[in-house]
Chain A
C-alpha cells in the first residue's frame, strides 16, 4: 500500500442470502454491494453518493465488520503503522482496532441509548478504550466529555441530560462527540444529515468537515444528496445498485460528469433559479431495480436515455479516463454530458 493511504478497499462484495419457505432454504441473494474498490488517504474526505437502496449502509457496515463480507479486502493502516485487512482480521485482533474506526449514524434517535445520560453515551468509548486513550479515572472521563461537548458546540451541562432533551441536530452533535471520543483515524458517516431539518444540515456538515480537518481524520461520507458533498469532499464516488459508476474530484464531477447516471443526478438537484428550469432535463425516470435480480449488462441501462444494445448485455469496466477519474460506461467517449449550472 502506498504511503499516506489510510484505507484501500478492493473488490468489496456483500450479498445477503434470501431464505424463503417453511424450511428457510436459500432461494437467491440480494446483491447489495458488488466489487467496490476505492482508496482513502489519511485525513482525506471521500464521498460516496447514491440513491436510497444502492448499498451505502451495507457498505459501511461491512467495512466496519458489522456484517461479514462475501468477498474482497479492505487494507487499513493502523496508528502503529501496520497494514491489516479489516475484512479477514480475527475478531480478537480486530477489537483493539475498533477504536481507530468509528461510525456516525443516520438516525440520531435510534443511535443514542435513551436510557443513558449524555455523559454515559460519550463516555462509553472512553471506558472501553480507556487504557489506549490514557483516560483511567471517572474524573478524567468527565473532563474529556466536557471537552468533547464544547468541541461539537454543546454546553458542558448537557452531559447530565438524557437524549430526549435534545433536538435532532443536537443529538447528531452528541453522536459526533461519541465518535471523536475514541480519537479515530477513520470515520464512516452514513447519511449523517439526511434525517435532519434542512436548516441544521449545513451546520452539522460544517462541524464534521472542521473536525475532520482539525484532527486529520480520514472520512468516508455516504449520502444520497449530491448537494451535501459539493463543499465537503475532496473526491466523490457515485454508486448505483451496489457498484461504483464513477469517481472524480468533486469539482470535476459537478462541472463535467462522466456517466449518464451522474448527469441525471445532477440534473435532479432542485434549483432556486426558475430560469434554468427550462433546460432540457435528463429524466431520471422509473424505480431503482431490485438488487435481488439486477439487470443484465450495465445496471443503469433500463433508466439510461443513451442506452444501446451493448449496454444491455455487457457490463462496462470501471475505466481510468484521466488520473484520479474513473467511469463505468461504454459510451463515455461519445457523450457530452451537462454538469450542474456553475453558480
Chain B
C-alpha cells in the first residue's frame, strides 16, 4: 500500500486534478520546452503585424533576392545597432543581381518605430512596430527578400499567422463532434446509436480529395482564397469527426460495463455526473492524443496542399506558399534563405507531438501503468 504517490509529498493532499496533471507534465522536459515554443509561435500569430518590420506585400523589384542582412550592434565602441544600406543592380557579365553594401552610411535600427499602418488585434489602427529603420522600413531585411523584393522575415511572420490558425476551427469542430456524437452513441445506445452509426458509415464512404476539389470549384468567385480555404476545412471537419466518434463510442460502451459506473448509478449519481466524473476522464488522454495528431496534420495539409497549388494561393501568405516560392533548384545554390519557412514548419510539428506526449501521460497516469 502507499507505494507510489508519496513522491509528491504533502502538497498532493490539497492539489486538484489539474494541479496534479500540471505537476506530472512539468517533469517531461521536452514537452515543457515544446509548450514554450508553441506559446511563442502563437504569440507571433497574435502580434504578426507588430513584429513585422516591413509590409509583407510591398513589391520592390530593385530589392529582389537580397540575402539576409546582419545587424551591427556596436558603433565606435558604443551600443548603437545599425545596418548598412544595400543597393542591388543587375550584373550583365554574370547574369545575376549583385548587392553592394555601403559601409560608410549607417541606418540606425530602433525599437518601437513607426512603419506601415495596420489594425492592432483588429481593435484600433496603429503604425507601431517592434523594431525597424525609422522612415525606411524596406531597408531592413533580416531574412533577406524574395524575387519580388518582399521582406521574407515579415512574410514569414504573417505566414505563421495563417498556417497556425486557418485549420484550427476545423480541427476543434471535428473533435467536438467526435466526442459529443460518439459519446451520445455509446452512452445511450439503442436507436440513437444505430442512427449515428449509419450516418458515420455514409460519411466514411465519401472520398475527400475529389470532394475538396469539387467544393473548391463550387465556391463563389468573389470570395478570397483564405475564406474559401477556411470554409473548406470546416466542411471537411463535418466528415473528419467519424473516426474519433467511433473510438469514443467504443470506449463508452466498454466503460458502461464497468462496475464502478454501475456503483455510481446505484449510489444515486446523476447522468451528467457519471459522464463528467467517470466517462470523460477515461477518454481525455485519447482525445488529447487525437488533437495533437490532428493539429500537425492540419499544418502539413495546408503546407502541402498550398505547395502543390491546391490549397492557398498568392496573394495569401502561408508557410506552404512561402515554400512554394522556393521551389526552383537555384534556390538551394544561390538563395538558400528562401528555405527559412521550413524551419518553423518542422519545429511546430515536432513541438505539437512532444506536447501531446507530455499531456497524454500527465492527464492519465493510469494509461501508462497498465
Contacts and interface: CB of A to CB of B under 8 A. Distances in A.
Interface of A: 61, 64-66, 95-96, 98-99, 102-103, 105-107, 110-116, 124-125, 128-129, 154-155, 157-162, 164-167, 170, 178, 182
Nearest to A108: B259
Nearest to A94: B268
A110 B2 contact: no
Nearest to B264: A124
Nearest to B273: A128
B267 A161 contact: no
12 contacts: A99-B268, A102-B266, A111-B259, A111-B260, A113-B260, A125-B267, A128-B268, A155-B1, A160-B12, A162-B4, A162-B365, A166-B1
Contacts of A111: 259-260, 263
A164 B259 contact: no
B267 A102 contact: yes
Given A115-B366, A164-B369, A110 B12 contact: no
Nearest to B365: A162
A114 B366 contact: yes
A65 B258 CA distance: 17
A128 B274 CA distance: 11
A170 B282 contact: no
Name which of A66, A161, A170, A182 has the most chain B CB atoms within 10 A of its CB. Answer: A161
A6 B4 CA distance: 43
For the complex of A and B, 4 pairs with smallest distance between CB atoms: A98-B268, A111-B259, A110-B259, A113-B260
A112 B264 CA distance: 10
B5 A115 contact: no
A114 B267 CA distance: 18
B1 A161 contact: yes
Name which of B2, B265, B268, B370 has the most chain A CB atoms within 10 A of its CB. Answer: B268
A66 B13 contact: no
Interface string B1-21: 111110000001100000000
B268 to A, nearest CB: 3
Contact of B1 (A61, A103, A165): A165
Given A102-B266, A162-B366, A115 B282 contact: yes
Contacts of A125: 267-268
Contacts of B264: 124
Contact of A110 (B260, B273, B364, B365): B260
Given A98-B266, A157-B2, 17 more contacts: A65-B266, A102-B266, A105-B259, A106-B259, A110-B258, A111-B263, A114-B370, A115-B281, A124-B267, A128-B267, A129-B268, A161-B1, A161-B5, A164-B369, A165-B5, A166-B1, A170-B1
A161 B5 CA distance: 6
Given A105-B259, A161-B2, A161-B4, A96 B268 contact: yes
Contacts of A98: 266-268
A105 B263 contact: yes
Nearest to A104: B263
A66 B262 contact: yes
A21 to B, nearest CB: 15
Contact of A160 (B5, B259, B267): B5
Nearest to A142: B13
B331 interface: no
A83 B17 CA distance: 42
B260 to A, nearest CB: 4
B99 interface: no
A58 B70 CA distance: 79
Contact of A64 (B1, B258, B266): B266
B110 interface: no
Contacts of A164: 4, 366, 369-370
Contacts of B13: 159-160
Nearest to A154: B1
A117 to B, nearest CB: 8
B280 to A, nearest CB: 10
Nearest to A188: B266
A125 B269 CA distance: 8
A102 B263 CA distance: 9
Given A113-B278, A160-B5, A66 B369 contact: no
Contact of A165 (B4, B260, B266, B281): B4
A170 B2 CA distance: 11
B209 to A, nearest CB: 35
Given A155-B2, A161-B4, A170-B1, A112 B260 contact: yes
A124 B260 CA distance: 11
Contacts of A66: 262, 265-266
Contacts of A167: 1
B1 A158 contact: yes
Interface in B341-370: 364-366, 369-370
A167 B1 CA distance: 7
B186 to A, nearest CB: 17
B206 to A, nearest CB: 26
A103 B13 CA distance: 28
Contacts of A110: 258-260
A203 to B, nearest CB: 14
Nearest to B265: A66
B114 to A, nearest CB: 55
A162 B5 contact: yes
A110 B3 CA distance: 21
A105 B1 CA distance: 21
Contacts of B3: 165
A298 to B, nearest CB: 33
A145 to B, nearest CB: 12
A246 B369 CA distance: 47
B277 to A, nearest CB: 8
Contacts of A182: 267
B364 A115 contact: yes
A208 B216 CA distance: 69
